[in-house]
Amino acid sequence: MTYFADKQPLLTDIFSRYPATPQGRRSALMPLLREVQDALGYVSETHMAEIAELCGTTATEVRSVMSFYSTYHTLPTGKYHLQVCSTLMCALAGSDELWDHLVSGLDVQPGEVSRDGRFSVQKVECLGSCGTAPVVQINDEGYYEQVTRTKCDRLLAAMRADAPPPPDNPVPVTVREDGRQMLANGERVGASIADLTPVGGEV
């Protein structure tokens, strides 16, 4: 049975948000993906084909859209899906070493789920919290910031007990009027726009 076969009111609601044109139907692609992902944790080939048919496009295009966003998964994930930011600022702050520590400690690689079903891991592009690097996001919740090996071990222990602590910062990250990020404890981090030096002299 397909996912949307018994969900006609939901389909009507989603498609009603867009123009009744071929382009409008294709605009519903991402909400349909999100619906399946939220319910099942990933989007299988079968569900990609179903969504393609509903939107009047191809499964290849659906997969192409999914591949652009790290939030969509084509394979099952663990109860706790750990996403480690791998771009420059986090790498400079130690995310590569954190990643090695994580996959070694969990004995799991991208695309795999730990034997107890709890953990899966993924390197992702910039999470937009460069001032609090290195950053880890668990599932679609907020950010765990300045994650050292010690903090990582504490997080893993809490998740093994099914009692993960609340994230340090919700999504989206709080940015104050001076352009600096703010941690959950109120500490401001990163550079201020007032610290910038004009290029080519005074403006």
Query: Which segments are annotated as binding site?
Result: 85, 90, 126, 130
Give the H/E segment covering residue 156: helix 149-160
> Binding site residues for [2Fe-2S] cluster, as ranges?
85, 90, 126, 130
Amino acid occupying residue 5: A
Rounded CA gap, 100 and 141, in Å?
23
Rounded CA gap, 163 and 179, in Å?
33
Rounded CA gap, 31 and 67, in Å?
15
Torsion of CA 88, 76, 169, 69, to 10 degrees: 50
Handedness of CA 107, 164, 137, 59 (dihedral sign): positive
